[in-house]
Amino acid sequence: MTVYRGTDGADNRTGSSLNDRLYGLLGNDTLKGAAGDDYISGGRGDDSLDGGVGRDQLDGGIGADVLFGGEGDDYLDGGQDNVRDKLYGGAGDDVVQARANDVADGGAGDVDTLILTSDFANIGGDATLYRIDLSGIDGASYASTGFAGVKAMNFEQANVVIADAAARSTITGSKGHDVIAVSVAEGQTSGVTIKGGAGNDELTGSSLKDVLYGDAGEDIIDGGAGADVLFGGAGSDLFHAVLEFTYPGGPKQAVDTIRDFGADDFILVTDEIYPGFGPSFETLDLNNPLVSGSAPKANSTGGQFLYNTTSGLLSYDPDGKGSQAAIDLYKLTGAPTLTVNDFILDI
């Protein structure tokens, strides 16, 4: 292995056929990894990094950098600044981390992943109103994501994490497997819209009222803490509900609305317990977990799900006939048929 540490000037260095570590430090550097699984860091300055053959990790650092992954499954990160970096994955299944103003190209790999992370969500001092659309990304043209000036092409899937987004932002996933999670800026009063697009996606909303669309594919949809509106779309989808066993007099759990729950969909239920307050999800009566009807009432000393077949309201009563109040979880539009086979329980 070759370890090279640069100077304060403009360095030009090519690694060996082994797994090298090249550090440019200061200056406008040109660093090439050649063969091997290399780690190349440009440091401060406008650098040119080329991984060559192998599974390489490239970090541009501070400055307007140009990164080439080359052959192999590479990871490229232009650096944590809002200067325009140019990131080219090349051949292989690459992961490209893009930030404000970057140009990202996954290259010719089979499954390239674009990561968008709002490390600088408040560029200019205000929360950013995002219009991120990854659905049109293909090999023919650049697609503006609306993500603080990012342009991207040749990606099959995406991982988008946005902190402090403005209200009414819209994020649309790619044609592949996307993981999208959003939180809103402090002081906002309305949430965001997330569209998974084609592919098996994982979508997580904010603490406010969001609208989430799974679209095509087998999606996992979690609205977050607000009273959200959820659409699974085509495919077998998993709606994630979190039971919040809070303290007496604590905040009431928001109720999400599922607009299109179908025969192939499931409800995943997990719990969040404040220690010492009330019964937990583990009290569920596994022999009689669901009571359905036009006015369902618990009939067990254990916990039970209650489903109103008229209104479509799904609740959970943690102590059955006891004094603990039921917790409303979802309202299913159209009150579709619901059986115990539609639940997945994370106890």
pLDDT the model gives residue 343: 95
pLDDT the model gives residue 116: 85
Cβ neighbors of 124 (< 8 A, separation 6 or more) are none
Is 308:331 a contact under the CB 8 Å cutoff? no
pLDDT the model gives residue 131: 73
pLDDT the model gives residue 247: 53
pLDDT the model gives residue 276: 46
Residue type, 42: G
Secondary structure element (H or E) that encloses residue 344, with its range = strand 343-345
Walk along the chain (347 residues) and give the pLDDT tens digit of each residue. Answer: 789 999 999 999 999 999 999 999 999 999 999 899 999 999 999 999 999 999 999 999 999 999 999 999 999 999 988 889 999 999 999 999 988 788 999 987 668 898 887 644 443 334 455 677 777 676 545 666 767 678 888 888 888 888 777 667 888 888 889 999 988 877 777 888 999 988 899 999 999 999 999 999 999 999 998 999 999 999 999 999 987 765 555 556 789 999 999 999 999 998 765 444 445 566 889 999 999 999 999 999 999 999 999 999 999 998 899 888 888 999 999 999 999 999 998 76
Cβ neighbors of 258 (< 8 A, separation 6 or more) are 230, 231, 232, 239, 330, 331, 332, 333
User: Which candidate, 208, 202, 195, places its Cα nearest to that of 167?
Assistant: 208
pLDDT the model gives residue 175: 82
Tell me the three state secondary structure of residue 328: strand
Record the tokens describing residue 228, joined without a space. Answer: 């959200």
pLDDT the model gives residue 7: 92
**Rounded to an integer, what is the distance from CA 262 to the centroid of its chain?**
24
pLDDT the model gives residue 187: 78
CB pairs under 8 A, 24+ apart, for 43-49?
A: 43/6, 45/10, 49/24
pLDDT the model gives residue 307: 99
Alpha-carbon span 291 to 329, nearest angstrom:
15
State the pTM of this model: 0.80
DSSP string for 19-58? --EEE--SSS-EEE--SS--EEE--SSS-EEE--SSS-EE
CB atoms within 10 A of CB 123: 16
CA 290 to each of CA 110, 244, 255: distance values in angstroms, whole numbers, following the listed order: 45, 19, 19
**Residues β-bridged to residue 31:** 13, 49
Cβ neighbors of 275 (< 8 A, separation 6 or more) are none
User: Which candidate, 161, 164, 172, places its Cα nearest to that of 124?
Assistant: 164
CB atoms within 10 A of CB 214: 30
